Structure 1
Amino acid sequence: MNIASIILGTRGDVQPMVALATGLISRGHKVVILAPPEHEELVTSHSVDFMPFGPEIKKKIRENPEKQKGGVAVKISPKEGKKFTLEQMSQVPELVPDADLILGTGIVMGVHTAADILKIPYRLVAYYPVILGPGANDPAKNRRMFGFGRAVINGFSRGYMNKYRKSVGLPPIRDVWAHWMGEEVILASDPEVSPVSPGVAFPWTQTGFMLLPSGKPLPDTVESFINQETAPVYIGFGSNPITDPEKYTLMFDEVCRTTGRRLIISKGWAGLKGSLNPDILFVDEIPFEKLFPRMSAIVYHGGTGTLAAAIRAGIPQSIFPFMGDQFANRKQAIALGIAPETCDFKKMTAAALTNAINECLNNPAYTEKAAALAAKLKESHGIELTISYIEGLMKNKD
């Protein structure tokens, strides 16, 4: 089976799909990942074929950090959205003409049409239930907001999408969001962590989160730093844009002093600068599955991939969300009893960080519940279940 995985998103969108690709390849299938150019090393380092496709998300964030406020990591204008969607509709069939199945991840409104052109199945792979819409028991406000967003996307996109579909002999679509979701969404998240509300708008099957082992050891500098004294605290905000790195360097110095804890800080896509403080170590991308179990607490933005790794480490965590699914992930982590209440990232201060870290370290309930949940998830098999679903889908098709 030839599978094309089309991704428009950050590292957190790509990494689980690389994990899935390696599993599919081990089963004898062929996989190619089409994603923004900055992900090439991540993909090819795991012996997965790669085609650069789509805009450079990392460059877009770094060039315009002042525009990335208000709860989204990358603001895409209607004009840009139209360009990306039409490229997906028109170019994907030419790039992967022999594909038997197309998987979409991220902002891929046009990929379903590409699959329609090739007359092959399409499935969206998502990592958080909120994409399925509010459930029957969710507040009316949530349903109104979701309906409004759905209407806006239809208003911006349905006309030009149907114009293109007509030009290639395809029938019109009535709802862009439903077209994006497809016949059934593959929800690659853990049901113990991300349960789906009853009565959501779209069909789904939940398989579990797909973790990608790095195969690399921790750098010597990190090993040396960890082994000096008591376990450090990890702080990282992933691909979230930060307009004033110096502000956060000073903030982390203050947190180190007030908590009395050494810190390992991820530079992330924001390019956070180093500190002269010997009790703070700034690091580039690093294997979470090796680092997190050796931390005393994990402070981060609430990205779904980091959430999955943090939970499996069995370590108390604290979330300061910036965008989208991160708010839902914080809410769920608090409900699970593994994280304290926090403010949003844009309101984060040294005092807020200090309070959150101290709460994680001094309240044994967080440690106990984190360890219990980690033990429960040792039996999760997200990659295997997703592969089983895909193979069953294609077998039934034949």
Structure 2
Amino acid sequence: MRVLLLAYGSRGDVEPMVGLALALRSAGAEVRFCAPPDFAELLADSGLPLVPLGRSLREMAREAVLGTGPAMTMQERAARVTADTYAAALPAAEGCDAVVATGLMPAAAAARAVADRLGVPYSFVAYFPSYLPSPDHPPLPWPGHPLPPEETDNRVLWERNEQVLDELFGGAVNAHRESVGLPPVEHVRPLVLTDRPLLAADAVLSPWRPTGELDVVQTGAFARPDARPLPAALEAFLTAGEAPVYVGFGSMPVRDAEAVARDAVAAVRAQGRRVLLSRGWAGLAAEEAADLHVVDEVNQQELFGRVAAVVHHGGAGTTTTAARAGVPQVLVPQLADQPYWARRVAELGIGVAHDGPVPSFDSLSAALAAALTPETAARAKELAATLRTDGAATAARLLLAGHRA
């Protein structure tokens, strides 16, 4: 069996699909992989040639956060992403028996168009429940379309969400479908999500309650097995003293990164802890010292079990990796699913949700003081033992058995 995997998004969107790719390959499938060009090295490390989609996502993210990019409406961006993704994915999908997608909705809609054009099954992967319609939770707000604070009925909010998605993406998606000989659709959301999406999230950390509206298949979170050793300088820092606090925002640009780094370092030191600062896409930086070490991308699966706490942006992958390591967390959510993960970590008692996306010395100091208590550390260790690690293998078995959306 030959499968095309398509992930259009940040590292948090791409790396779990690498885990799925490796599980599929271990089960005997041939895998082709489409993702933004930023992740060529990640794919190469796993022996997966990359079919690049569009331009650098890192540059696009910086432009969006810092307001430096070309003036384009959401509809114009959707049209470009849909067309570029389809153009790259269609030849890659030739001869494939299935298409599996995740990430930005216009890109996933293009993946669906590729599957429809070739007449092969299409599946969508979600990494958190609140991306999927349910009366149990509200939808994510979209830029320029905040959720009305006076509305508390989640069913009404999801109806509005469908209208917003059609307004933002429907024109671009249908214009493209018609241009390649496919019929238009009434609504974009069910086209992309399908009636039977895969939910790649741990059922303890992120449960889904069946509602009868979608036949969601919760597989457990996907993880890319990472056996890389830690860099020698990092290893030396870790063994030179007590466990440090890790601070990093992954592939998430932040405004005023210099101030964020300065306040974060000061807040960690105020707790009497050493600091491990990850540059990431935010470009966090500080002068190295006996109690401070700066790292680039490293094996978090190995690292997180050796730190006192993890301060991060709240992406699904980082949250799950820290939870599996049994380490307390402080989440400083920026956008999208990150407030959801911050809320879950706080509800489970394994960490603290920072109030808002802009940390200060005072706010981080208070959050760290709460996260570094023995009670939080004990709860984090206790919960870690209950989390599954076979999500990618479970999904691979389903797909190879003919999972149908």
Pairwise CA distance, 1:64? 5.0
Match of 1:71 in 2: none
Pairing 1:14–2:14 present: yes
The answer to whether the Cα contact below 8 Å between 1:132 and 1:201 also exists between their aligned partners in 2 is no
The answer to whether the Cα contact below 8 Å between 2:247 and 2:275 also exists between their aligned partners in 1 is yes
Question: Matched residues in 2 for 1:120 and 1:25: separation?
Answer: 19
The answer to whether the Cα contact below 8 Å between 2:311 and 2:329 also exists between their aligned partners in 1 is yes
Q: TM-score, normalised by structure 2?
A: 0.89
Pick closer, same or farther for the CA change 1:113–1:361 going to 2, 3 Å. Answer: same
* Partner-residue secondary structure (3-state), 1:393: coil
The answer to whether the Cα contact below 8 Å between 1:178 and 1:202 also exists between their aligned partners in 2 is no
Pick closer, same or farther for the CA change 1:201–1:265 going to 2, 3 Å. Answer: farther
Pairing 1:349–2:360 present: yes
Pairing 1:165–2:191 present: no
* Partner-residue secondary structure (3-state), 2:158: helix
| Residue identity opposite 1:368 in structure 2 | A
Tell me the alpha carbon deviations over residues 293-350 of structure 1, each in whole angstroms, 9 at most, x when there is no partner: 111111111110001110111111111111111111111111111113421222x111
Question: Matched residues in 2 for 1:367 and 1:76: separation?
Answer: 45
Matches within 5 A, 1:1-398: 1-67=1-67, 77-107=74-104, 108-136=108-136, 140=152, 142-199=154-211, 201-346=213-358, 348-362=359-373, 364-377=374-387, 379-393=388-402
The answer to whether the Cα contact below 8 Å between 1:256 and 1:280 also exists between their aligned partners in 2 is no
RMSD of Structure 2 on Structure 1 (CA)? 2.2
Q: Matched residue pairs, number?
A: 387
Question: Matched residues in 2 for 1:41 and 1:375: separation?
Answer: 32
Question: Matched residues in 2 for 1:205 and 1:290: separation?
Answer: 29
The answer to whether the Cα contact below 8 Å between 2:37 and 2:52 also exists between their aligned partners in 1 is yes
Pick closer, same or farther for the CA change 1:151–1:359 going to 2, 3 Å. Answer: same
Larger mean Cα displacement after TM superposition, 213-222 or 300-309: 213-222
Unmatched 5+ residue regions in structure 1?
69-74
* Partner-residue secondary structure (3-state), 2:80: helix
Pairwise CA distance, 1:200? 7.2
The answer to whether the Cα contact below 8 Å between 2:126 and 2:199 also exists between their aligned partners in 1 is yes
Tell me the alpha carbon deviations over residues 33-74 of structure 1, each in whole angstroms, 9 at most, x when there is no partner: 111101000011111121111231101223453239xxxxxx
Unmatched 5+ residue regions in structure 2?
139-150
Question: Matched residues in 1 for 2:371 and 2:238: separation?
Answer: 19
Aligned sequence identity (%): 32
Larger mean Cα displacement after TM superposition, 57-66 or 24-33: 57-66
The answer to whether the Cα contact below 8 Å between 1:253 and 1:277 also exists between their aligned partners in 2 is no
Pick closer, same or farther for the CA change 1:309–1:88 going to 2, 3 Å. Answer: same
Pairwise CA distance, 1:88? 3.1
Tell me the alpha carbon deviations over residues 240-297 of structure 1, each in whole angstroms, 9 at most, x when there is no partner: 2123222123213421431111010111101112324431111100111111111111
Pick closer, same or farther for the CA change 1:253–1:161 going to 2, 3 Å. Answer: closer
Match of 2:141 in 1: none
